[in-house]
Amino acid sequence: MTIRLGKHPVAIAAYTTLKRITDYGRLPALILTLSIAAGALVMPSLSEAQSFQHPGALNNQADLDRMKTKVAASAQPWKGSWDILVSNTNGWTSHNPEAVATITAGGGLPENYIRLARDAARAYQLALRYHGDGSTWAADKSVEIMNTWASIHTGWAGDSNVSLRSGIYGYQFASAAELMRDYSGWVPADFTAFKDYMLNQFYLGGSRNKDFLDRHHDTRGTHYWANWEHASLASAMAIGVLLDDQAIFDHALDYFYDGIGNGNMNRAVTYVHPNGLGQWQESGRDQGHSTMGPVLLGAICEIAWNQGYDLYGALNNRLLSGVEYISKYNTKRDVPFAPYVHDAGRLDSSLVRTVYWDISSVGRNQLRPGWDLVYNHYVNRMGMAAPYTGEYAAKTRPEGGGFNFGGNSGGFDSLGFTTLTHSRDSIASDVAPSGLRATQEYDRRITLSWWGSARATSYNVKRSTTSGGPYTTIATVGTKDIFHVDTDLTAGRTYHYVVSANTPSGETANSDQVSAIAVAPGGISYQAENAAYGGDAELITSTTNHNGTGSIVPHSGYIEFTGVDGGDGGPTTLAMRYAHGGPNRTGVWT
């Protein structure tokens, strides 16, 4: 299988945060993030690359073969997850599908979408049971559930919640069908009917996947939270695979990079802090919705991976930066938070703007299944370190799925069982640190962060004033918080950095080099993270004496603000947002 790097070499940030670093009585002179990012190559569309691989939605054949082998050997943690699956599916031998003609979600009507949620979970788990031990009764029941829904379910009722539900259960049903597509007991005509059902009831139609991603119910592009869009993206991508439909698949793939809403990867992780943690778009909202994000984006990235596209590594592994952020906070540790501006409202009405100044603790430390998929990709497939993701995953292991996390809709947001389907043996080889970033901060400080190595016991931070070295080791860093702050540098001097890992086998090669100039304190100027578009901009602050307006010099990434008051010298946090020229932005900025 060929894996391609991310599509766009330069991230296009819709939000940039400018945050005070210390308690000194002045604003930072400059915050500029420099990175060696994944994604230096242009990714071809599917039509330029290859035909679809089957099974190739959430699981591929290698996953199923590994699962079967590990379960037969009673190997852990696979067997623990399998035992939960067997217990669940044993209760469905005589299950009658819950299909109804109309699924209702929202709109003040009596809701019944939980029927769809439960049967999508059953169809998927029964399909796994068949692939794990060859139980044809499980295969027949899975197919029966899908055939029944395809023949009975003909419409939706409610409000915009239809978009969310058609996304979540669309990707789940499509993933189940992809597992059963070659089963001899699924009559070809019935399989074709089910594919038509997925196309017409989930992807096409008002408020469904395509309509939602294209139109957003006539709201501003950033009106809906990231999870809503990720649900539709996962569904579109899985349906594209199921139907061998290049256009559907590419629609989701393109939106991941270029979409106007919060499902765009740059907006899903709104800001990568100097320490490498990526702030999640819904972190100021609550943690229940934040922890749903990695579940949906993990599914999107795995489906893409199974078709030869590396979205996990896109934009310097931006997904991992976000999952580490969520995992750290939800394992009872503090994380930084930069003010987040959420713009909402219909296109034909006034802008509704909310500024989130702090991370929300609502729902903190709750557990969701799906983490083993993300953890095993980065750590045991790629050899990278993901310490907090691993800690969160360990708390959910061995995973169950639907019916094991409560009976309401939240318990069915994820198909789960990724301990069973995506766990891998520990990687045996060493991987050098990668993705080294240098963030210039005021007062002659440079913060370095990087992607660590799965087998590392510590890291060596090395510096030189000559590009290419020789380097001197300036710090040894542990394996939890993978960053280092280099202080007391000479203002105006360029410093060059590399990082290596110490492992049981010895020291790895150095990372690629990154360079940065130490900046002296004083002055008030700011630089946007990867700004790529012209347009107006404004500062937003919790106090009235730190306001200003400015404009972006097109394509230079530089923003100059005028009329900014330095304030009273106390601690100050500023948030900045800039428009990117979309039609829904006209008249917003002053």
Q: Is residue 435 domain-resident?
A: no
Domain count within the chain? 1
Q: What is the pLDDT of residue 216?
A: 96
Cα gap 96→390, rounded to integer Å = 38
Q: Which of 107, 109, 184, 187 is nearest to 150 (CA)?
A: 187
Q: Distance between CA atoms of 377 and 330, rounded to whole angstroms?
A: 20
Q: Give the domain range for residue 409.
A: 46-422
Does residue 73 sit within a domain? yes
- Alpha-carbon gap, residue 165 to 172, rounded angstroms: 11
Taking alpha carbons only, the member of 98, 167, 127 closest to residue 413 is 167
Per-residue confidence (pLDDT) for residue 460, from 0 to 100: 98
Asked if residue 470 belongs to a domain, the reply is no
CB 36 within 8 Å of CB 316: yes
Please tell me the predicted confidence (pLDDT) of residue 438: 95
Could you tell me the CATH number of the domain that includes residue 289? Answer: 1.50.10.100
97 preceded by a cis bond (ω within 30 of 0):
no
241, part of any domain: yes
Assess if residue 514 is contained within a domain: no
Position 560 in a domain: no
pLDDT at 50: 62
Within-domain flag for 533: no
Tell me what pLDDT residue 27 has.
24
Q: Is residue 418 part of a domain?
A: yes
Digits of tens for pLDDT over the chain (590 positions)?
Answer: 333 333 322 222 222 222 222 222 222 222 233 333 333 333 334 344 469 999 999 999 999 999 999 999 999 999 999 999 999 999 999 999 999 999 999 999 999 999 999 999 999 999 999 999 999 999 999 999 999 999 999 999 999 999 999 999 999 999 999 999 999 999 999 999 999 999 999 999 999 999 999 999 999 999 999 999 999 999 999 999 999 999 999 999 999 999 999 999 999 999 999 999 999 999 999 999 999 999 999 999 999 999 999 999 999 999 999 999 999 999 999 999 998 999 999 999 999 999 899 999 999 999 999 999 999 999 999 999 999 999 999 999 999 999 999 999 999 999 999 999 999 999 999 999 999 999 988 778 999 999 999 999 999 999 999 999 999 999 999 999 999 999 999 999 999 999 999 999 999 999 999 999 998 764 333 433 333 333 344 444 333 333 444 433 333 333 444 444 444 444 344 444 443 333 222 222 22
Q: Which helix (H) or strand (E) holds 507?
A: strand 506-507
**Six-digit token string for 530:** 């990867």
Burial of 535 (0-12, 13-18, 19+ CB in 10 A): middle
For residue 528, give every residue at least 6 positions away whose Cβ sits within 8 Å of its Cβ, in sequence order, or none.
13, 16, 552, 557, 558, 559, 576, 578
